[in-house]
Amino acid sequence: MRRLAFSIIGVIAAAAIAIGINMFADARLANAQLDLTQGHIYTLSSGTKQILAGLKEPVTLRLFYSRQLGSTVPAYGSYADHVREMLRDYAAASNGKVHLEFYDPEPFSDTEDRAMAYGLQGVPLDQGGSQIYFGLAGSNLEDDERTIPFFQAERERFLEYDLTKLVYELSNPKRPVVGVMSSLPLDGDPRTMMMTQGRGPGGQPYASSVLLRQTNTVKTVPTNAQVIDPDIGVLLVAEAQNLSPATLYAIDQFVMRGGKLMAMVDPWSEAMAATPSPDGMPPRDTHSDLKRLFDAWGIEFDPNQVVGDLTGAWRVRTTGNDTEAAVNYVAWFNIRDGINHDDPATADLQQVTVASSGFLSKAPNAAIDFLPLLSSSDRSGSIPLDEVKTPDPAKVLAGFKPQGGPRVIAARVRGVLKSAFSGPPPRQGNETRPAGFPPFRARTDGPANMVVVADSDILADRFWVRVSDFFGQQSATPFSDDGPFVANLIGTLAGSDALIGLRSRGDTNRPFTLVAEMQSDAEARFRQTQQALQQHLDDVEKQLRTLRSGGSGEQEKQDAVITPDQQAAIGAARQDVLQTRQKLRAVQLELNRDISQLENEMRIFTIVLVPALMTVLAIGMGILQRRRRARARR
């Protein structure tokens, strides 16, 4: 009895200790977590934590999620759990600045009306017409709002980037100021308008410029500027020709002071070549370069070479010997597989078109990170610049030889940079220093962030939109993603450095890659055997039909007399058919044998082995405890 009482007391004490540990963990360790997932999809990045820690005003995030969606499509249920967990992590890391609200918008309810008022996207789930929701609405104290209309499953790996961007924009609601320095008539060309007398698209603002102004405050920076306006956060230098040392110095010092730069250079600008010069003649030189800056920053660009690519080359019309034909012009091509889908700015782009572009590379021993965004294919090569100035597409194609690839056409550059100057450049002629001329800085205080593109024709309408006139209104229909490419990159640069540093993570949909590999190997191993057996079965069945008919004609089939030898052959054929069918079934079973074996092993591991190990561990600890007690009694 005494031993039984001690046992009961021990069980009660163990239960009390377990309950106490759970209560302590719930109170003290609620936010503790151990993320063992590949890609650490449940761990906030340092950039996100930096933005959350820097919040000065409260931000409210409202998740509208229809539970019916998760019950109907389980994949969205797990995605919703991921979103909720990440939102709770945001709230925990914000020192109370992020407030969370969760809603289930049932059909025709006030909550659904609220979701619609925020502009969230309702999606029909069945024929009944009811809408389901899975979106986020955020607001700040000034009633500025940002939304994610619907969490697309394809963007789950960018979930942290999308959430952090939304929070950052709510904490910094002012529109980013983007400076544009270009020799191209991005905002329209009055001379061309006068020449066309308002007919056709000539002289209209570039569609890419219109798109950029939709989300940013754009300021024009002259190509002879000596100082960049300090209000400008991102500077776009696109096909800026013949820049003076003073203007190069202004760009250099803008970067040294932490400004974000997107530089678009070009060995041959097709857009500039199509823009008439003041004398009405096409320009002879349309190249643009930032050689002095690039050399100091560790970026290589050859303005005398153009990239050609057989993959995605445009079909253009060419004339020769009084005939007209369509040929591949390898200097103009669409990029599809060469888009970096791990970068948030280019993740959703399907196609980017480039024309007479150059290529970039990281200089040897340069202390920068060089991340390609656009690259040519393995069937690319370089073309001398002179061949594209007055091109003969057929001749260019005939002389083109792929030289392997890929060649980088656009890249993100990040790193601590040194100035390309040792001080302000000497004044030229009657040049004067403007008021507020900033003091010289020899290097960046921290890592600089910029994007470099070796093609400025990405901006030109002819390479990404079809412009049509509809009763006097210009309508642009995109066929490529050039405009969004520029706008998205400017958008990421306009965010904080922490936001730029975010990259794609993993997603919660973890496929059984081992099982998939086993299925693929098994299918490759047994498919040939299966096909051979099936062919043999077809031949035997055909032979059996012939034996049963006694011939091939209908009359012969009716009058046929089956001999004993034929009967024996029919019996052997039937047996052969049965054996072949058994072999086919065996092959089919063999196809899944390894997978079934793996499934059984996992069941044994989870159902039997783990509890057995815990039991052995408990017994071992009990034996060890008893020995200690026995030693203590001695």
pLDDT at residue number 274: 85
Q: Which residue has the higher pLDDT, 204 or 167?
A: 167
Please report which residue ranges of 257-403 form alpha helices under DSSP H.
270-273, 291-297, 386-389, 393-399
SS3 594: helix
Residue 501 has pLDDT above 60, yes or no: no
Residue 359 has pLDDT above 80, yes or no: yes
Q: Which of 94-108, 202-216, 495-509, 612-626 is predicted least confidently? A: 495-509
Q: What is the CA radius of gyration of the chain?
A: 35
pLDDT at residue number 626: 76
Segment 510-561, tens digit of pLDDT: 555 555 455 545 545 555 565 666 676 677 677 767 766 655 444 444 444 5
Q: What is the mean pLDDT of the chain?
A: 81
Q: Which residue has the higher pLDDT, 123 or 26?
A: 123
Distance separating alpha carbons of residues 312 and 337, to the nearest angstrom: 10
The pLDDT > 90 percentage for the chain reads 44
328, 396 contact by CB (below 8 A): no
Non-local CB neighbours of 263 within 8 Å, separated by 6+ positions: 237, 238, 290, 293, 450, 451, 452, 453
181, 237 contact by CB (below 8 A): yes
Residue 181 phi, psi dihedral angles, 5° rounding: -115, 115
The pLDDT > 70 percentage for the chain reads 73
CA distances from 75 to 71, 133, 152, 160 (A): 9, 15, 11, 18
Q: Which residue has the higher pLDDT, 36 or 151?
A: 151
Q: How many residues in the chain?
A: 634
Q: Which amino acid is at 423?
A: G
Q: Which of 111-125, 139-153, 389-403, 499-513 is predicted least confidently? A: 499-513
Q: Which of 64-73, 106-115, 201-210, 229-238 is predicted least confidently? A: 201-210
* Residue 480: closest CA among 359, 358, 374: 374
CA distances from 328 to 38, 318, 385, 510 (A): 43, 10, 18, 42
296, 417 contact by CB (below 8 A): yes
Highest mean pLDDT out of 18-22, 432-436, 584-588? 432-436
Residue 472 has pLDDT above 60, yes or no: no
Distance separating alpha carbons of residues 55 and 428, to the nearest angstrom: 47
Residue 496 has pLDDT above 60, yes or no: yes
pLDDT at residue number 557: 45
pLDDT at residue number 220: 96
Burial of 167 (0-12, 13-18, 19+ CB in 10 A): buried
Residue 597 has pLDDT above 90, yes or no: no
Burial of 24 (0-12, 13-18, 19+ CB in 10 A): exposed
pLDDT at residue number 339: 96
Q: Which of 312-326, 346-360, 468-482 is predicted least confidently? A: 468-482
Highest mean pLDDT out of 19-28, 74-83, 269-278, 471-480? 74-83
pLDDT at residue number 240: 95
pLDDT at residue number 470: 47
Q: Alpha-carbon dihedral of residues 292, 298, 301, 302, nearest 10 degrees? A: 80
Segment 21-71, tens digit of pLDDT: 666 555 555 455 545 454 555 678 877 888 898 888 899 999 999 999 988
Q: Which amino acid is at 289?
A: D
Q: Which of 154-163, 435-444, 504-513, 592-601 is predicted least confidently? A: 504-513
Distance separating alpha carbons of residues 117 and 431, to the nearest angstrom: 57
pLDDT at residue number 453: 98
Say whether the peptide bond before residue 149 is cis (omega within 30 degrees of 0): no
pLDDT at residue number 257: 95
Residues 356-384 have a mean pLDDT of 95
- Residue 41: count other Cβ atoms within 10 Å of its Cβ: 19
Confidence of residue 632 (pLDDT cuts 50, 70, 90): confident
Non-local CB neighbours of 503 within 8 Å, separated by 6+ positions: 161, 342, 343, 344
Q: Which of 187-201, 273-287, 359-373 is predicted least confidently? A: 187-201
pLDDT at residue number 200: 40
Segment 375-426, tens digit of pLDDT: 999 999 999 999 998 888 888 998 899 988 799 999 999 999 999 999 999 8
42, 33 contact by CB (below 8 A): yes
Residues 274-296 have a mean pLDDT of 84
SS3 322: coil
Confidence of residue 451 (pLDDT cuts 50, 70, 90): very high
Place of tokens 């594209």: 388
405, 217 contact by CB (below 8 A): no
SS3 22: helix
Residues 168-176 have a mean pLDDT of 86
SS3 113: helix
Q: Which residue has the higher pLDDT, 50 or 219?
A: 219
pLDDT at residue number 252: 97
- Torsional class of 416: left (φ above 0), alpha (ψ -120 to 50), beta (otherwise): beta
Confidence of residue 454 (pLDDT cuts 50, 70, 90): very high
SS3 100: strand
Distance separating alpha carbons of residues 153 and 74, to the nearest angstrom: 12
pLDDT at residue number 191: 59
Distance separating alpha carbons of residues 469 and 250, to the nearest angstrom: 41
Q: Which residue has the higher pLDDT, 243 or 519?
A: 243
Residue 593 has pLDDT above 90, yes or no: no
Residue 495 phi, psi dihedral angles, 5° rounding: -75, 180
Confidence of residue 259 (pLDDT cuts 50, 70, 90): very high
Confidence of residue 79 (pLDDT cuts 50, 70, 90): very high
